[in-house]
Amino acid sequence: MCIGIAEGLNYLHTGMEDRKMLIHCDIKSDNILLGENREAKIADFGLSKFQHAITINTMHLAGTPNYWDPEYLKTGKLKKASDIYSFGVVLLEIFSGKLAWDSRFNLENEKGKLIQMLDLKLIKDVCELSFTRKEKPADDSLAVFETIACKCLAKTQAERPTIGEVMKELTKALYIQENTMKPLKISREHITFSVENFTNDNSIMRGCEMLYKGTVKYNNRRLDQEVHVKQFSTTSQEDGFLKEFEVLYKYRQENIIGLVGYCKENLEKIIVYEHASKGQLTRYLKDTSFPWITRLKVCIDVANGLKFLHGGDGGQDVVIHNDLKSSNILLTNDWKEKICGFEHALTHPANTEIKYLMNDVVGSLG
């Protein structure tokens, strides 16, 4: 939708032999109409001005408060950059779900904190997997969008980008968003083949969530390394599947099991982990060949993983695992530890404490 508006402005701002350049003068969400497929159409040209020179000097301001270019408001100098400023306001309206005169609408939002303007209702019950048309903004896509929106809102006209530059960056943000999950999606057919139809011989954990050893195949080519495959076997496990994927996608650290990919086709819900060749810690607890010094190193690895999850570093939320147990600790061939099993994880912003009711308690007995 943003790109559609930008394309319309680009047409207006680019003069051709048979037409003059036009400054709209009143870009706002009220003047954007939507077609059946939500394609954007710029409307209401009653205040528009043909641009005969680079700058139009006027004593009569045109436009709508809250969308006015501050330099135009102060000096009466009207340029194409004035439309760019108004468009910057509209970009934030589209993102946040708030109109420019809403008390919660904040043009002074610091770079890197644009997400704070987003109404949580807009992303309730949505996920990172593109299962619905409602998707959370991917971090890299949001960063590109935020940067260009902030440039549009520069205080001076000279600092603002051209509409061509805006189009380029919005297209980049869309490309990133659309392609964020594609490299991680694996077909059900390939996963089924690689783990021999989830036979019990390959299973290393029993229960509602089944974990298997195997390999995956892309385009008729097997990966060189083996993987672990976790199958969520009931429809009631949708939330756990989404939560585990979200945590593994966002939180990457040497003591957290690595995410290879996912599959969600029909009723199948599958997460593919990196391979941890020694399997679960549980199987070694009574093993006398599992020496004390190795046990201590495993404990330190688990502590490092928890420190990362609990730290809320880099603006990330704090993650409470909520089901830490020996069967959710996998070991690599060199006894490096990998925490897995995040289907019950809880997240909350750093420096805040979240209280949960007793009926929210999950985890494992013991």
What is the spatial order of strands in the sheet that 329-331 belongs to?
Answer: 279-280, 329-331, 337-339
Catalytic-role residue among 18, 26, 119, 139:
26
Q: What is the DSSP letter of 189?
A: H
**Residue 119 is a catalytic residue:** no
SS3 357: coil
Question: Which residues sit opposite 261 in a β-bridge?
Answer: 272
Residue 326 has which token pair? 């020996």
**Whether the Cβ atoms of residue 190 and residue 196 lie closer than 8 Å to each other:** no
Cβ atoms of 214 and 277 within 8 Å: the answer is no
Cβ neighbour number for residue 317 with a 10 Å cutoff = 16
**Dist. CA 72–CA 84, nearest whole Å:** 12
CA distance 233 to 217: 22
Identify the residue whose tokens are 């385009």. 219
Q: Contact at 8 Å (CB) between 311 and 318? A: yes
On whether the CB atoms of residues 240 and 202 are closer than 8 A, the answer is no
Q: Among candidates 224, 225, 201, which has minimal Cα distance to 212?
A: 201
Query: How does DSSP classify residue 223?
Result: -
Query: In whole angstroms, what separates CA 347 from the centre of its chain?
Result: 15
26 C-beta neighbours (distance < 10 Å), count = 21
Nearest by Cα to 143 from 314, 260, 358: 314
Angstrom CA distances, 161 to 25, 125, 154, 170, stand at 17, 35, 9, 12
Q: Which two tokens stand for residue 361?
A: 């308690």
Active site residues: 26
